[in-house]
Amino acid sequence: MTLTIVGHGYVGLVTAVVFADLGNTVYVIGRTADKIKRLARGDPIIYEPGLAEMLKRNLDAGRIHFTLHYNEAIPKSDIVFIAVGTPPKNNGEADLSSVLNVAEMIGKHIRKYIVVACKSTVPVGTNRKIKQIISDKAKVPSTKFSIASCPEFLREGTGISDTLEPDRVVIGTEEARARKLLVEFHKPIGGVRVLTGIESAEMIKYASNSLLATKISFANMIAQLCDKVGADIEEVLNGVGLDNRIGRRFLYPGAGYGGSCFPKDVKALIKIGENYGENMDLLTAVERINDRAIKHLTEKILARLPKSQTGEGQTVALLGLSFKPDTDDMREAPSLKIIERLKRARTKLTVQVYDPIVKQLPIKELKNMIYSENSYQAVTGADVAVIITEWNEFLHLDLVKVAKLMKKPVLVDGRNIYDPEKVKQLGFSYVGVGRI
């Protein structure tokens, strides 16, 4: 088939490259000339394991094309996926301006039957708005297009495998012709097919992300209590997770959730509830607990530093900056919030940071911030070393070497990646999240 994807972020670009690799002709529409040129040269712009290689393969094969122009892509396509961002407004609502602008542009360029499927995470009712906008702008009868909601569930860092072998493929539409085409299109990939109405498909995405965020906040809430009562959170959650009604996935305490989805989707679902007169107090508690996880971890770090009002002469090494491993995404990353809290508490504190991929923070340059070339450089002369992101390379650090490089061997394990007893045997003062 021939398809168009509007948007080339994590969702749009990964989807485009994977379906080009499956033999389709794919057009990707962007709005920034420089980025389109970089993509056409084989630079994926974002970091995602395996993406650069797959992009180059499909560029060489002539199956994927990048453009700024709707008239180059929409008239030729069987399906167009909307995959642009829906960032939160100040009040928590999803900003739909990009989605609705894209719908208007699509409407202007429809020439033959096409399915317009929205992959962007949007509140209930948005696809109805998309249909109305396209109807207003299209120069063809309404029978020449159908709308559908096809939310994505890929995880950054495992986006390619998640696209090829998803748990489920959700197709929300009221029109048999569109449903048949989308089912046919998705045949080459795995996953259970979930065929629903439009509103149900829109809600599935928000409900899924909010429930996963709830599991993370639940784990952090219990971890904070374990700190007080002397229980080990890993033992507790191992026992809890063996119940197959619950499972262990996402029951991981630490620095809280971040990224492009969970924070904004929880906020958006709270706002959707408010708009319909429903109290979403469970999710407001999820947000509070997530904020508290950042606060508690920062307090653990500050408590292990030498006494000082300003932090002068003190150094903290932060290992990991991205919100999760195998991505360079810094949106709502816990590392940013921890750095800001540390610098507010100790204005002259030196923070030495290292991340395998992220080399620059998207915040105003802070005094006494040092970017390190590797983990060992970051911990050199540090009073406290902190694991913020569970990159695989941190599991294999030479901790004996780390201890020798630090002023004092103090390790705050913000992701519980180490065995406390083994670390303590190496002479470290070990601090985990909810660990004895």
DSSP 399-415: HHHHHHHSSS-EEEETT
Answer for the pair 98, 84: CB distance below 8 angstroms, yes or no. yes
Closest among 375, 333, 384 to 354, alpha carbons compared: 375
- Pairing label, strands 369-371, 384-387: unpaired
C-beta separation of 291 from 215 below 8 A: no
d(CA 397, CA 320) in angstroms, rounded, equals 13
Closest CA relative to residue 291, chosen from 237, 336, 334? 334
Q: Is 261 considered catalytic here?
A: yes
Question: Are residues 414 and 395 in contact, defined by beta-carbon separation less than 8 angstroms?
Answer: no
- Quick one: how far is CA 384 from the chain centroid? 28
Q: How many CA atoms lie within 13 A of 229 on its CB side?
A: 10
Of the candidates 180, 189, 188, the residue with the CA atom closest to the CA atom of residue 113: 180
Determine if residue 230 is left, alpha or beta; phi over 0 gives left, psi from -120 to 50 gives alpha, anything else beta. left
Token pair 């204005």: residue: 347
Burial class (CB in 10 A: 0-12, 13-18, 19+), 392: exposed
DSSP type of residue 23: T
What single string gives the DSSP state of each residue in 116-170? EEE-S---TTHHHHHHHHHHHH-SS-GGGEEEEE------TTSHHHHHHS-SEEE
Token output for 180: 């048949």
Helix (H) or strand (E) holding 431: strand 429-431
Helix or strand holding residue 6 (H, E) = strand 2-6
CA distance 337 to 290: 11
Euclidean distance between CA atoms 146 and 4, whole angstroms: 15
List the catalytic residue out of 118, 150, 226, 261: 261
Neighbours of 178 (CB within 10 A): 22
Q: How far apart are CA 114 and CA 144, in angstroms?
A: 7
The residue with tokens 């149900």 is: 200
Q: Which residues are identified as catalytic?
A: 261
